[in-house]
Structures are given as C-alpha cells and as structure tokens.
Structure 1
Amino acid sequence: MTDDDRRDPLERLRAADPAAGVEPRDEFADEVVARATADATAGTAPVADLTSERARRRPRWLPIAAVAASLAVVGGVGYGIGATTGGATNLADGAAPPISLSSPDSTGATEQGVPEAMMPGSAGAADSRMSAGGAESMIAPWGWGRNSFSASGLSESDGTALAHAYDARSVALPEAVAALAAALGVQGTPELKDGAWIVGSQDGTAPAIWVSLDGTLSFSYSNPLISPWTCEDGTDVCEPTGAVPGEQAAIDAARSFVIATGHDPADFEFTTETWEGAVTRSAMAWPVVDGQRLDQAWTVEVGDQGLISGYGLLADIVELGDYPVVSEQEAFERLSDPRFSPQMTVMPAAIREGDDAVVSPEWVPPTEPPAAPVPGASVSWPVNDVEIVDARLGLATQWQADGSVVVVPAYAFTDADGGTWSVIAVADDKLDFSSE
C-alpha cells in the first residue's frame, strides 16, 4: 500500500468527491425548489414505490456503502473490495472475499453437526480446506510448519467494528421446518430425533431434510430419486449420466433454495462451478454482511432433473454492536502469538496455478536408507520466511464454547507469494481466553 492509501479514510473520501470545491451559482437552490413545486402542482411528479426501489437498489449500493461507513468508524485500518470471479453473481458488484478463522481440517458443515452422508459437494467449505500432516507439511508454507513473519508500513491505528451473531432461537421450530419441507416438496411431519429435526425418509429412498439444533440451524436436503449416483437395486456400481445444467439454471436453483427458507436472496452473492466429466453443477450462495462475504456458503447441486441436494443455514444474522478492534500492526504480531494460531486460508498463487517450481517434485523410491548425520552437524529446523504485504479488515465466523456462532471482525493478511493468513481482530479485553 502507498502512503496515500494510508491517509485518514474520511480524507480519502473527500478527495474522491467529484464535486469537491464546487459552489452553486446564485439562485440555484431557489430554481430547484420552484421547479419541484411546479411539478407537484401539475400532478406530473412520479410517485416512487420506495419498498420496491430499495429492494432493487440494495444489492448494488448497500454493501459498498457499509464498507465505507465502517472505515470511518475503524480509522486507519486497511481494506479491499475483491471482485467476484468465476460464474454468475448476484450483481452485488463484488463483495469482499470471505475470511475464515477455522483450521483446514475442521472447517465446514460436518463440524456443525450435519451428517457427512447428507452433505452435497460443499464448495464453500472446500475453498478453505488444505491437507496438512506429515513431515513435508512442517516445512511447507501452506502447511502447519514454523513461520517467521515480517511486514512494514502497517497501520498502528485501532478502532471499533460491528460484530454479528446467528440467532438460532429466533426461528420458530418446528413450524419453520414444516414450511421448509413444504417448499422443497418433502413429504412428512417434522420429528425431533437425536438433536435434529427431520422430515421425510432418512434411509435414502425418498427426499428428506435434516435440521441441526446447532448455533446456525444448519440444514441439508437430498433427493436420491433424481441423483445420478443412485444405483438400481442390486447394483453396487453405476455410471452417472445426464446433461450438465447451465450456469443460470444452477443460480436460479440456489436462489429458490434461499427463498424456500424465508431468507432474501438479495442478501447473498451467487457463484457456480462444475468440473470436467461431471453430470451435475454446483452453485453457492454467499451471505453478504456489511459488504463482506461470510465464510459459510450455502450450496446446491443440480442435475438435469432438478435439485439433487442442498445445504444452508436457517438462523438469522443479528447485530451485536461495536467491538474494539486492534490495529493492523497488533494483528500482525498475533501471527507469531501461539494463542491465535494464524490460519492460511488461501494458498499462494503459484501453488494454485500448478507452478512446477513450487509443487513438490515427483516422489522417487529410495534405494538405500539415509546416512547418519556426522558428529557436530546442525539439527534441521526449517523455518518459512513469510513477508506480509497487505492487510484487510473483514468478518469471519467463530464457534463459541456454548455452541453459539458469532460473526466477528478479522484480518486477512496477504503474503508476497499470494497466500492469505487470517487472525481475529477483536481486542484482548473482549476475548475470553479461558479453556473451560
């Protein structure tokens, strides 16, 4: 970031005002009032439907305005608006990308209580999952190895930022479950069993939904009757067939899925993807809060016969008020503090693009064991040098000890190789470090 980028946010906004320094000519205001009065008297002034106008305009301007407003509150922290890429979107002009505080092997719906067998191919959770473990991961910068962080020019200004939470108890159960089942065409009466509300057959012979009593009321839907992976009776292996739906069909299915829960699709951004050889297409609905995508994407899987499966969250998101936020510099120092366990949530660009110079070479079987170290040889202790080049304040979900889920300010730090590291931004005096 340049020195100009680190100016006070209000000063930057004023500098970007195209009307800055422009003064109206004499009698300009009187002329405007006269024209407006004449139009109203003549009965020609159009009457706007404010409700529909706000609904139409909100996806385009509200997230961006919310980010600008939060900058004025927080002060000198850095930020960025990332353009959405890949597939169709909700015309929200690109909310900032999600930030995750979860470890790669514990992120996603299975931690929230959703049975793995009920889950669709969750692209939202998969975005932040990376393999770790073994000796190699201890020296790879994208693993859980030892890292030495460096940075310069980070802001030392702290401030406040708005926090949120999922309010699971605000949803009227089982009425909401029955309404969801009806909207998705699932037959049956809601039944509370083993800590979840279920509707429909749970043996894989008919459409069903499953609603967990967790902090987000996570739920899943499946329709095995149209799944291309459902084999005929007596058949253990079958070849899936079908035409891959188009992007718009998948997006429309995701929108309808959101609407079925009573949520407003205008509060989401939508993306879609498929893969070579697939017979289905996935679509993701990303909740957008204060101009930030959350790291809890809803997902649907669509085939040529319709909606095969889906996953989402029934609970509403409510405000918790302003929380104190540490500066970029203090958050950077947390990357080296074992209490905060910084997560690499995005791999370096070269790795994502398959750079042969970065990806581990092909394994060659050994022909003899390694030689013993010579006396006095140094002990190998690899440390990765990670240079932080950018900081962005956003939001990330965090599961609490009592099972509730908060959406709290968090920083995303980008390193020189394009990797992203995340750490919570809430100040120490608002963090409960107790282990019970």
Structure 2
Amino acid sequence: MTTHTPEQPDDAALERLRAADPAAGLDPDTEALEAAVRTRVPEAFAGATATPGAPASPPADTGVPSGAPVDELAERRARRRRRAPLQVAAAVAGVLVVGAGGYALGAGAVGASPAGDTSELTARAPIQLGTADAPAAADGAGAESFAGDARSAADVAYPGYWGGRTVFHQDGLPTEGASASAWAYDAAGVFAPETLLRVADALGVDGEVREDYGSLSAGSADWTGPTVSLQPDGLASVSFNDPTKDPWGCVVVSPAPADGDGGGESVEPGVCEEADHGAPPSGADAVEQLRDVLATLGLDPAGYEVVADEQAPDVEAPRATTVTAHEVVDGQRTGTQWSATFSGAGLASLYGALAPRVEIGTYDVVSPAEAVERLGDPRFGGGGMIAWARESTLEQMAVEPEEPTVPPTLGEGARFAWPVTDVTITDARLGLAVQYQPDGAAVLLPAYELSDAEGNAWSVVAVVDEQLDFAPAG
C-alpha cells in the first residue's frame, strides 16, 4: 500500500472542444504500441510476421483447384476473421496506452516530448472526475462531458463492459483524513473587451471588439485574416486562428484554365492550391515560441509543462509543429492547457484557458479508506474508472469474435445473471481535478486517484461532505 500527497476557427464550440482535448494533435508511437501488443497478444500477429520488404511466401495449398468456383460469402467471412485479431489488437493497444499512465496521449507519455526527450517530463497526469462536464458542454461543446459519460459507463460495467457491477474494498489504506488547497478560475475577472484587445494586440490581430453569441471577437469578420475570440466559459477560453499561416489552407483558383489552348476557360471548378509556408519550427524551437507567447499574454511559462508533438517518422516534410502547454500545480498537470500550431510562416492557431487561478482556501479531505467507500456511494457516482491495466481485461478483449449464435433459452426456475466484480483498492494518490459548478464556474479541487494492485484506476472527489453542497442543480 502506498499513498501520495501533492507537494482551450469560426465554430467557437468546436474550438473549445479542441482546446479541451488532452490528446489534441498527438500521434501515437505506433512502433511502441505494436511491440506491446506483440508481447501481450502474439496471436494477433500470427501469419503476419514477415520481414518488411521480404518476398511473400507462396500461398498455401487449400486443396481447391485453381479453376474451381469461389464462394464469395465464405471468403468475406474468412477475411473478417483474419482481420479480427488486429482489430482486437488495436483495441488492446489503446488499453495499454491508457493503463500506462491515466491517458498516456494526453500525458505526453507517447509521441510527445518537450524537445524530443520524454525523460524531461516530470508532472503527473491530471486526475479527471466524471462530474467535470461543464454545463456549457451539454450541447457537445466540451470534451469533459464525453469523457465523463464514458468513465461513468465503464465504472458501472467494469470489467465485463456491459451489464456488470462493481463492489469496492480497500486493503491497508490510511483511515485518517487530511487537508489540501483548492483554487477557482477567475473567468469573471478577465472576461471583458479590454482583455480581448490586450490579447489581440499580443497576437497581432487588428479590429474592433464585437459580440458573437455571447463571446467577444476581434479581427477578420469573413475569416480571411487573423481572428481571436474570448469565450464566456469557466476558463475564459481564448481561440486564435490565422488562415494566412494555416499549414493546410489553400487558395481556390477559379475558374481553372482550360486544357490545350490555354486561352479559354474550363467549365470545371477551380483547383485548390496549397500555400508553401516552408518548414515549420523544430519541436524545441516551437516549445520556446509558445513559452514566449504565454509570457506575452501575461501568463507565467514556469507554471506550465510545455510539450511538442513528435513528428511521425514517415513524414518527410511536415507542414506544422503542434505544442501543448500543460498547467502544473504541485507537480501535477491540472487538465487545463494551451495548444498552439506553428507553420513555417509562424503561429497559425492557439487555444487555451486565460482565466487566472486564485486560491480559495484549504479544505478538509476524507481519508483514502473513506474515498474508496465513495466509489460505491451514488452521490459520487459521477467519478469512475479512468484507466485499465488488468491482464484479464486484455485477454477478454483479445478473444477473436466468433460467428454469432442464438443464445439458449433460460430454463424454468433458473437464477438470473447479475454479474458483480469485486475490486480491492491498494493505492491512493491525493491530487487535484478540474470540476465545473452548475453555473459553469471552474474550480480546481482535491481529488483522489485510487488504484488496485494491477494498475486499474478510478477517481473521486476528496473534499469532506460538510464542505460539499448537495443541493440539486437548478
């Protein structure tokens, strides 16, 4: 048993979703994933172990004359069966990634580094509560809502995925409570036209401030030039885009010249010519550039762990470099961040949380043992499983699907299946999690990450009942 104490373009909703995505722009390390899957699920690669570039083996003798009619339906079924292990392997790879560190893509554990060296990453992964979905995200505008629903479902169904239930116990965890600091994000203090003008000036955006469906915007109104917006959400999210530096943007040439004589015009629509912005900055340079941008916006770069995406090895001439600055408090990423994309022409896009974090006091927290009890308390059911690592889970997922069959009819007097899984929590980490109040205000409050001996993890709020308001929302 061990315990640990802590020492966000024109569619604003879409951009808030992108800004909240902890894995935005990150590419999985496919070689590492494949190696892990080969180790755990070798049968998934059976018959597919030939060395790349080596001549293919001759086809096996199936016993069917080459001129015999082919049963196309049977062949399609066979192809499905042959594909299944790799499809399952892909799902297992995702579990391996998550089990390795909360959500490894968002934590920078796979395919990302500050300057090409993942050994420099020191902050622990953020704790995410299932209740972290902001009210503004009810229409799909926030990534937390999606993740929260998925975690809640996993908690109810773990580990049989559908129809199972879980009972939690603890083994050797402390029974004494403690205290921890909490913070509020002061969006109300910065959501103002003056703030947007300051941000616009820092990012080189001209124009007057205008209101767009509650948000504040400045810059090009037709999206042909740089634009920046400030959202009225709990994090005062900023969204910046410069289409003139977009690494994937293009200019439509219309009408296109006709083939042949070069004089007339073609009736075909024009082609889209992509702009050549040159090579984007290296990961290390992009990291420093984002640090400079944060400082220009009045933020302290030292309060962030800045991570550059690792370029895919098969991309000879990448068009962009994406960098993420993760907010860090007491050695842990909070889950709020800034994400920037640089092309050869400079900063093409930027999304992030501008609201400053203000301390709101010290709160009493329940003991790790009581936190485990909360996993079975309906009042805290919005939390849930956040990482899989159980070997049996991998084995269940790795089973090749069989042809569907009709289930047997239940007999008279038979007992009804009501699967229940018993989980013993052996490890507790007290950290912090972003949580949204019913009115949309964002706070950073104490939360536990609870793990079993095999590395599966759940999360739950840590603040004592007396300091929680259980009144119904609305």
Alignment of 1:298 onto 2:338:
yes
Comparing 377-386 with 90-99, greater Cα deviation is found at: 90-99
Q: CA deviation at 1:238?
A: 8.7
Residue 272 (structure 1) aligned to one of 308, 318, 322: 308
* Maintained 8 Å contact 2:229/2:240: yes
Alignment of 1:98 onto 2:126:
yes
Q: State the TM-score, normalizing by the size of structure 2.
A: 0.63
Alignment of 1:216 onto 2:235:
yes
Comparing 219-228 with 156-165, greater Cα deviation is found at: 219-228
Q: State the TM-score, normalizing by the size of structure 1.
A: 0.68
* Maintained 8 Å contact 1:334/1:340: yes
Residue 325 (structure 2) aligned to one of 275, 285, 290: 285
Alignment of 1:379 onto 2:416:
yes
Which structure would you say has the larger RCO, counting Cα contacts within 8 Å and 6 or more residues apart? Answer: 2
Residue in 2 that maps onto 1:320? 360
Give structure 2 stretches of 5+ with no counterpart: 8-103, 253-268
Query: How far apart, in 2, do the equivalents of 1:136 and 1:294 lie?
Result: 22
* Maintained 8 Å contact 1:253/1:302: no
Comparing 131-140 with 242-251, greater Cα deviation is found at: 131-140
Residue in 1 that maps onto 2:464? 427
Over aligned residue pairs, what C-alpha RMSD do you find? 4.1
Residue in 1 that maps onto 2:395? 357
Give structure 1 stretches of 5+ with no counterpart: 14-81, 117-121
For residues 272 and 419 of structure 1, do their structure 2 counterparts lie closer, same or farther at Cα, with a shift above 3 Å needed?
farther
Query: How far apart, in 2, do the equivalents of 1:409 and 1:177 lie?
Result: 31
Aligned positions of 1:2-401 closer than 5 A? 85=109, 86-88=112-114, 94-102=122-130, 106=133, 111=137, 138-140=157-159, 146-171=165-190, 173-233=192-252, 245-274=281-310, 276=312, 279-341=319-381, 343-344=383-384, 346-349=386-389, 357-364=395-402, 366=404, 368-401=405-438
1:377-418 Cα distance to aligned partner (Å, 9 max, x none):
332323333332210111111111222111111111122332
For residues 265 and 145 of structure 1, do their structure 2 counterparts lie closer, same or farther at Cα, with a shift above 3 Å needed?
farther
Query: How far apart, in 2, do the equivalents of 1:186 and 1:144 lie?
Result: 53
Q: For 2:463, what is the secondary structure of its paired residue? A: coil
Query: How far apart, in 2, do the equivalents of 1:240 and 1:365 lie?
Result: 51
Query: How far apart, in 1, do the equivalents of 2:330 and 2:398 lie?
Result: 40
Q: For 1:170, what is the secondary structure of its paired residue? A: coil
Comparing 356-365 with 339-348, greater Cα deviation is found at: 356-365
Residue in 1 that maps onto 2:62? none
* Maintained 8 Å contact 1:191/1:197: yes
* Maintained 8 Å contact 1:149/1:335: yes
1:329-388 Cα distance to aligned partner (Å, 9 max, x none):
11111011011025346422468xx9952535454553x533322333332323333332
* Maintained 8 Å contact 1:92/1:269: no
For residues 273 and 397 of structure 1, do their structure 2 counterparts lie closer, same or farther at Cα, with a shift above 3 Å needed?
same
* Maintained 8 Å contact 1:411/1:423: yes
Query: How far apart, in 1, do the equivalents of 2:215 and 2:434 lie?
Result: 22
For residues 197 and 172 of structure 1, do their structure 2 counterparts lie closer, same or farther at Cα, with a shift above 3 Å needed?
closer
For residues 365 and 281 of structure 1, do their structure 2 counterparts lie closer, same or farther at Cα, with a shift above 3 Å needed?
farther
Query: How far apart, in 2, do the equivalents of 1:250 and 1:232 lie?
Result: 26
| % identical aligned pairs | 35
* Maintained 8 Å contact 2:448/2:460: yes
1:44-86 Cα distance to aligned partner (Å, 9 max, x none):
xxxxxxxxxxxxxxxxxxxxxxxxxxxxxxxxxxxxxx99755
Q: CA deviation at 1:319?
A: 0.8
Query: How far apart, in 2, do the equivalents of 1:184 and 1:162 lie?
Result: 34
Q: CA deviation at 1:169?
A: 2.8
Report how many aligned residue pairs link the two structures. 349
Q: CA deviation at 1:424?
A: 0.6
Residue in 2 that maps onto 1:57? none
Q: For 1:297, what is the secondary structure of its paired residue? A: strand
